[in-house]
Amino acid sequence: MTDRDLLFMPATAAARLIRKRALSPIEYVDAVLASIEKTQPTVNAYATITADAARAEARAAEQAVMSGKELGPLHGIPINIKDLFSTKGVRTAHGSAILADNIPSQDDILVTRLKHAGAIMVGKSTTPEFGHKGHTDGPSFGVTRNPWNLERTAGGSSGGAAAAVAAGLGPLGLGTDGAGSIRIPAAACGVVGLKPTTGAVPYEQTSDSFFNYAAAGPLTRTVADAALMMDSLAGPSTLDPWSLGAPAHGALPPSLISEDLSGVRIGYLSAMSDCSADVAANTKASLAALAAFGAEVEEAGAGMDWIAGPARLMYLANLNVYFGHHLEKWRDRMDPVLVEWIAAGSRANMVEFRKAQVARSRLYRGVQKLLESYDFLVSPTLPTTAIPAEAGKTVDALFNRGWNAFVYPFNQSGNPALSVPNGFGADGLPTGLQIVGRWWRDSDVLRLGAILERVQPWADRRPSV
C-alpha cells in the first residue's frame, strides 16, 4: 500500500486493518503528519499541529493492539479538531488573536468522547475568527485553500476540517455548524458533512444554550465514516438542555443500508434559491438516481418563506452580543468582516430581534409541515462551486451572494441536514447535495446519502494537491 492510498483510506477500513494488526497506528499517524507538513504552506488546513502528542498516542495505540486490549471504534484513527473546541493543554484560539494564548485546562466533551473511542488528534483545524463566516481566512492564520484548486475557497467556518479530510490529512474532522459551517465546506471540498439534529450531539460551548441553533458534527470522506463518528459523538450532556430529550442514537451498520426506496417521498426544494446550471444539473441527476431505486420525487416548498432577513438579523445581533465587547481593545487585529457584522448587529433593537425569533418559529413549523408530506427534503448545498479564496475578505461575497442560502434554514429549524458530494462542476470543482430529514432521524439522512454514494461514487476521486 502506498502512502497516498493510506491517506485516502476510509476510517472504517483503517480501523479494521488496525484491529487485524495489518496497519500500524504509528505508521498511519506518521504518514498523516508528513502530509500535513508538506501541504501546510499551500492548503493551510491546521492552526496548530500536535505532532509530538499524536506520535505518543500512536505508540500507546499500537501497544494496546499488540497487548490484546479492548479497542474503541476509532482506535488509532487520526482526526482533526476545529479550533473552536477546547483541548486540554493545546491552544484553542478560536481563530483569533484575542485568544492566541488560551490553553484550556480540560477537553470539550466531544473531544473526550472521540479520545475515549480511540481517535488520535493530529491538530486543530483552522476556522475564521470565532467561526463567524462561510470562508476560512483571518488575520491570525491567513487563508485556508481548497485542495481541488488552491485559488478557490475551502468554505467555512469548518474550512480547515473539510480541507484536511479532502486532502488526505486525516480521514475525520470535527466541525461546527451555526449557519451552514459544516455543510458549506463539505460541498466546496467534496466531502461528507452532517449537521445533526439540534441536541443529537451535545454542544456545550454555545453562549446561549436555550437559543442555540448551532451543532457539532462530522466531516469525512464517506458516509459510513460519518456514521461511525456519530456513534461516538451522540448522547446527552447535562450542560446542553437540547440534548437531554434526545432519543438513543440509532446506529447505522453499513450492512443494513437497503437500496430499496419504494414508497420513500422526497421533496425537491427547487425554488429555494437560484443556483448555477452545473449545480442544478448535478442535483437533478442525483434525484433521478434516487428515483431509479423507487423514490417518489416531486418539487416542494413553493412559496415558502425561508426568513433570510430575520435569520440574518438574529445572527448579526448575536455576534454583537457575544463578541462586541472585544472591539475597543482588539478592533485593529480582528477580521474586518467580523467587525462590520458586529456593527450591523449593534443596530438591531429588541422589537426587531423578537420579531425575528417569531419568524424562526414560523419557519420551524413550515419545515415540519413539509416533512409530514415528505420523508426527506433535498436541495443543492451551495449555489455554485467554490468561489475565489480571496472573496472571503469582503462582506458582499457572503450574505449578498447567497452563499449559505440553502443551508441556514435548517439551523433555524433544527432538522438534521447532510451534505454529500454529487459530482463536479464545469470548472472541475465538487458540488454537493443537501439531504434534510425529520428531527432525530439523523441515521435516515445518512442512509439516503449512503445509497447515493454507492450509485454515484466519489471517494475514489482525489485532489492533486
State residue 63's pLDDT score.
98
State residue 394's pLDDT score.
67
Choice among 82, 124, 133, 195 that is catalytic: 82
- Given this structure, which CATH class describes domain 3-306+353-455? alpha beta
Tens of pLDDT, residue by residue, the chain (465 residues): 788 899 999 999 999 999 999 999 999 999 999 999 999 999 999 999 999 999 999 999 999 999 999 999 999 999 999 999 999 999 999 999 999 999 999 999 999 999 999 999 999 999 999 999 999 999 999 999 999 999 999 999 999 999 999 999 999 999 999 999 999 999 999 999 999 999 999 999 898 999 999 999 999 999 999 999 999 999 999 999 999 988 876 665 555 567 889 999 999 999 999 999 999 999 999 999 999 999 999 999 999 999 999 999 999 999 999 999 999 999 999 999 999 999 999 999 999 999 999 999 999 999 999 999 999 999 999 999 999 998 766 665 555 568 899 999 999 999 999 999 999 999 999 999 999 999 999 999 999 999 999 999 998 899 988
State residue 260's pLDDT score.
87
Choice among 96, 140, 158, 181 that is catalytic: 181
Q: How far apart are CA 12 and CA 4, in angstroms?
A: 17
Phi/psi for 62 (5° steps) reads -65, -40
Q: How far apart are CA 137 and CA 98, in angstroms?
A: 16
Assess contact for 194 and 249: CB atoms under 8 A.
no
Choice among 157, 243, 419, 443 that is catalytic: 157
Q: How far apart are CA 114 and CA 78, in angstroms?
A: 11
> Is 158 labeled as catalytic in the residue annotation?
no
- Other CB atoms within 10 Å distance of the CB of residue 124: 25
Over residues 8-66, the pLDDT tens digits come to 999 999 999 999 999 999 999 999 999 999 999 999 999 999 999 999 999 999 999 99
Tell whether omega for the bond before 157 is within 30 degrees of 0, i.e. cis. yes
CA atoms within 13 A on the CB side of 49: 20
Smallest CA-to-CA distance from 138 within 99, 85, 172 is with 99
Smallest CA-to-CA distance from 35 within 69, 65, 67, 5 is with 5
User: Longest Cα pair distance anywhere in the chain, in angstroms?
Assistant: 63
pTM of the model: 0.97
> Is 82 labeled as catalytic in the residue annotation?
yes
What string of H, E and C letters represents the secondary structure of the chain?
CCHHHHHCCCHHHHHHHHHCCCCCHHHHHHHHHHHHHHHCCCCCCEEEECHHHHHHHHHHHHHHHHCCCCCCCCCCCEEEEECCCCECCECCCCCCHHHCCCCCCCCCHHHHHHHHCCCEEEEEECCCHHHCCCCCEECCCEECEECCEEEEECCCCCHHHHHHHHCCCCCEEEEEECCCCCHHHHHHHCCEEEECCECCECCCCCCCCCCCCCEEEEEECCHHHHHHHHHHHCCCCCCCHHHHHCCCCCCCCHHHCCCCCCCCEEEECCCCCCCCHHHHHHHHHHHHHHHHCCCEEEECCCCCCCCHHHHHHHHHHHHHHHHHHHHHHHHHHCCHHHHHHHHHHHCCCHHHHHHHHHHHHHHHHHHHHHHHHCCEEEEECCCCCCCEHHHHHCCHHHHHCCCCCCCCHHHHHCCCEEEEEEEECCCCCEEEEEEECCCCCHHHHHHHHHHHHHHCCCCCCCCCC
Residue ranges covered by each domain of the chain? 3-306+353-455
Q: How far apart are CA 219 and CA 167, in angstroms?
A: 12
State residue 375's pLDDT score.
95
> Is 96 labeled as catalytic in the residue annotation?
no
251 contacts: CB under 8 Å, gap ≥ 6: 227, 231, 443
State residue 250's pLDDT score.
66
240 contacts: CB under 8 Å, gap ≥ 6: 199, 202, 203, 204, 206, 209, 212
The three cell numbers of residue 457 are 461514487
